Amino acid sequence: MPNKRFLRRNTNEYIKLGKKSKKNQKWRRPRGRDNKMRLKTKGHPLVVKVGYKQNKANRGKVNGKELKIIRNINDLKDVKGKTLQLGKLGIKKKIMISKICQDKNIEFINFDPKKFISRMKQGIKTEVKK
């Protein structure tokens, strides 16, 4: 994953450039006579240039390990030596995956199975009391 996020100028100002939706945030080279990004003035966003690319050994890895996105239970089969990230899932699949991960002591970047299960149990208890 890249260290720096290069965005087009004014992405935070206009909806069509990606103010509220990240899929519209794309890189475009700054052109224009007085454009501060093109002039590389201090305090303005960075411009893409040679030298920002990562080494081939580290490219596409997180903390030195290959990234694997988990979208279902079958994705948990071959997880050795990989950094795991949980994709978009519903609550049922999340509960099943978190139980399996608790048994096998599998860790995620963006998800803690123990906390999730404890929150779900507390939520179920409060619903029953009502």
- pTM exceeding 0.75: no
Neighbours of 86 (CB within 10 A): 20
Query: Rounded to whole angstroms, how far apart are CA atoms 52 and 44?
Result: 17
Domain that holds residue 36: 1-53
Whether residue 69 is found in the same domain as residue 32: no
* Biggest CA-to-CA distance, the chain: 66
For residues 97 and 123, state if they share a domain: yes
Beta strands in the chain (DSSP E): 61-62, 65-70, 82-86
Q: 35 and 88, same structural domain?
A: no
Residues 4 and 28 in one domain: yes
Q: Are residues 98 and 122 in the same domain?
A: yes
Over residues 46-101, the pLDDT tens digits come to: 899 888 888 888 888 888 889 999 999 999 988 888 889 999 999 999 999 999 99
Same domain, 28 and 70: no
